[in-house]
Amino acid sequence: MKNLKIEKEYLKKIKLFQEYNKYYYDKSDPKVSDSKFDQLKKEIIDLENKYKYLNSKNSPSKTVGFTPSKNFKKVKHKTQMLSLSNAFGEEDLKNFEKKIRNFLSLSKDFELEYSAEPKIDGISASLTYKNGKFIMGLSRGDGKEGEDITENLKTIKDIPKIITAKNFPVEIDIRGEVFIQNSDFSKIKTKFANPRNAASGSLRQKDPKATSKIPLKFIAYTYGFAKNLSIKTQSSFLKNLKNWGFKTNEYNKTICGINNLIVNHNHLEKKRYEIDFDIDGIVYKINDIELQKRLGYVTNAPRWAIAHKFSANSSISEILNIEIQVGRTGALTPVAKIKPVKIGGVTVSNATLHNEDEITRKDIRVGDTATIERAGDVIPHVISVDLNKRKKNSQKFIFPKKCPSCGSSTVKEFNESTKRNDAVRRCSSEGFECDQISIEKIKHFVSKEALNIEGFGKKIVENFWELNLIKFPHDIFKLNYEKIKKLEGWGNLSVFNLKYAIDNKKKISLDKFIYSLGIRHIGQENAKLLARHLKSASNFFKLSLSKDIDELKNIDGIGSTQIKSILNFFSNQTNQKFLIELKNHLEITDTIQINQSGLLKNKNFMFTGKLEGISRAEAKSIIEQNSGKIISNVTKKLDYLIIGEKPTTKKINLAKELNIKILSQKEWLKMLD
């Protein structure tokens, strides 16, 4: 319920704040001390946090603390200040380069060189120098006409006022970014929404003295109008800038090839938080000035440059509920249902909380305000919760001690290798006795890496389960298609396609068959090792009955955990029935003896990122057919790291450190001729 007294008090504070604000920004004559100003702002925000109905549009939580002044003289730029088009990923970059190649009719092997410059998130300015003297500085304005902010710019130490270098043009507009460093921003944080606003606000102070109090910086990166400037490349221009006394970005680089642009992008995207100013992407410019000239412009952006943006990868949201999901191996995973929020262009409404220990450690509760991170294609996760925003009535989250699906007790297993209890709590029931585990086992069975049944997605598994059409993985071979045809969203054609997809996958290799069983600790690699050792399905089935698993001890890579797990699996009666069913429905092919003298002999490979037009599984099998080996960690043993779309930066960086060759998918395929 609204409390009128509180609302009145709140609005009074806002009115006072507006008054202070006017004096502070417009008149550059603060009425109160900075700390009093900040205190008032804090009081308003505290009230809003406490009483959610307080929501004035004039609140300092919504307005940026500065009003653009109408008092600056407008001046035309001699050369227009352009903007840049944006690229958000590899595809956009490829298109950008393709257009350039077409435009310039370049041959395929012509290597385009780029100047890659971190894009500082500040305010651009154009500085006019005549005969080596800084005579005028303009803001960007609308690109055609800017505000004359010369006096304010003069207060910035990084801007040289006189340049005596011999090769400095008689007249030139030097362009770059005015910004504030994060460490300086933290000292004046309460007055501005972010560093960019701080830079913008202080640049437009009516009184240059007010500007001089704020530690603004300037980094130069391009030029507008120029008389007597003779340069061949953007990178050499950047060098000149440095010699003339300007600051340039220490992370500027010259790079060839889209893949290398991406490697650099990934590297900087990680590093951006260590840099003392905000960067929101990387600007790529064709390095050759002649080519730049030939390429020219489209409307208000050059054809020869593009901004490769970083993805915003964290956001704040509210935890609406904490649900427990039961996985294929019985692991209980807590998942936060959050108020939907956009992170890096994707709407996120679920975020993993990993396990029970994680919740306890971070004391995560329903109703908390949380920071959610989404990095690449990894499942979004909760980083932290804001204890200041915690509701008074919030209660500690109690992790269920019974499986939410089947009610069995849950256990934390003792881990032999770490000599500790697992962080993960598991349902203690054996496989198919728990509904949720069964559903997950079916999903695994039809998944890409196992039987790879096209169109049999997770939603369909859940739907068919609900309708009692499937209870075990082998039920997919006995589907009642007549019944499915009548279901909503299904018709003759889709049923035909489903049946075709299933029939088509009845022939399966031994390793994929073993993997598809979903035995705990038997992933794709271990399944391959077992298949290589056992050679045929009949040997596998014999072993499942005899349970004489001693022979598995000789397999390099199979340890006691795996052996115990296999024995467990074979000892379960339901699993035995499951195996018999599969024996009847599938045609399991013997393990192919690998060609030991192929092109990739003695070479170890690893993939990161999504490959184009080929599944990981197929790519692995190509490598193995050519006598190469796939390994799962970046170590000295690795010979080649093959990168696809959205690769893992960590892997690339580690590979670079270890001097491991990094190949694009194309380069790798070239190796195979």
Q: What residue ranges bind ligand IVH (CB under 6 A)?
A: 82-84, 117, 119-120, 124, 140, 177, 221-222, 283, 302, 305, 307
Residues 426 and 404: beta-carbon distance below 8 Å: no
Cα angle: 287, vertex 293, 298; to 5 degrees: 105
Choosing from 119, 309, 505, 528, which is the catalytic residue?
Answer: 119
| CA distances to 361, 588, 671 from 59, in Å | 36, 69, 62
- When the beta carbons of 283 and 336 are compared against ligand IVH, the nearer one is 283
In 3D, which of 628, 579, 583, 590 has the Cα closest to residue 606? 628
C-beta of 343: minimal distance to ligand IVH in Å? 23
* Token code pair at residue 111: 């290597």
C-beta of 248: minimal distance to ligand IVH in Å? 9
CA atoms within 13 A on the CB side of 69: 22
- When the beta carbons of 119 and 425 are compared against ligand IVH, the nearer one is 119
- When the beta carbons of 289 and 534 are compared against ligand IVH, the nearer one is 289
Give the residue closest to ligand IVH by C-beta. 124
Cα angle: 49, vertex 50, 53; to 5 degrees: 80
| CA distances to 84, 164, 308, 342, 667 from 266, in Å | 20, 39, 11, 21, 20
Q: What is the DSSP letter of 24?
A: I
C-beta of 276: minimal distance to ligand IVH in Å? 16
State how far the Cα of 70 lies from the Cα of 72, in Å rounded to an integer.
Answer: 6
C-beta of 29: minimal distance to ligand IVH in Å? 31
φ, ψ (nearest 5 deg) of residue 616: -60, -40
C-beta of 285: minimal distance to ligand IVH in Å? 7
Which residue in this structure is represented by tokens 């279901």?
Answer: 487
C-beta of 302: minimal distance to ligand IVH in Å? 5
Query: Collapsing DSSP states into helix, strand and coil, what is residue 536?
Result: coil
State how far the Cα of 625 lies from the Cα of 608, in Å rounded to an integer.
Answer: 20
C-beta of 257: minimal distance to ligand IVH in Å? 20
In 3D, which of 621, 597, 601, 611 has the Cα closest to residue 641? 611
Q: Which residues contact 556 (CB under 8 A, 6 or more apart)?
A: 529
- When the beta carbons of 140 and 374 are compared against ligand IVH, the nearer one is 140
Query: Collapsing DSSP states into helix, strand and coil, what is residue 431?
Result: helix
| CA distances to 84, 250, 487, 488 from 283, in Å | 8, 14, 52, 50
- When the beta carbons of 134 and 179 are compared against ligand IVH, the nearer one is 179
Which residue in this structure is represented by tokens 């962080």?
Answer: 423
- When the beta carbons of 97 and 117 are compared against ligand IVH, the nearer one is 117
- When the beta carbons of 203 and 322 are compared against ligand IVH, the nearer one is 203
Residues 384 and 356: beta-carbon distance below 8 Å: no
Is 119 a catalytic site residue? yes
* Token code pair at residue 198: 């701080």
- When the beta carbons of 48 and 147 are compared against ligand IVH, the nearer one is 147
- When the beta carbons of 96 and 578 are compared against ligand IVH, the nearer one is 96
C-beta of 441: minimal distance to ligand IVH in Å? 51
Quickly count: other Cβ atoms within 10 Å of residue 518's Cβ: 22
C-beta of 208: minimal distance to ligand IVH in Å? 22
**Full strand arrangement of the beta sheet holding 604-608:** 629-630, 604-608, 640-643, 661-664
C-beta of 83: minimal distance to ligand IVH in Å? 4
Task: Determine how β-strand 604-608 pairs with β-strand 640-643.
Answer: parallel
Q: Please classify residue 230 by burial: count the beta carbons closer than 10 Å to its beta carbon, then call 0-12 exposed, 13-18 middle and 19+ buried.
A: exposed
CA atoms within 13 A on the CB side of 662: 22
State how far the Cα of 228 lies from the Cα of 632, in Å rounded to an integer.
Answer: 57
Residues 162 and 10: beta-carbon distance below 8 Å: no
C-beta of 296: minimal distance to ligand IVH in Å? 11
- When the beta carbons of 296 and 340 are compared against ligand IVH, the nearer one is 296
Which residue in this structure is represented by tokens 């009692």?
Answer: 468
Q: What dihedral angle (degrees, nearest 10) is formed by the CA atoms of 104, 105, 111, 117? A: 30
- When the beta carbons of 80 and 480 are compared against ligand IVH, the nearer one is 80
Task: Determine how β-strand 426-427 pairs with β-strand 301-302.
Answer: unpaired
Q: Which residues are catalytic?
A: 119
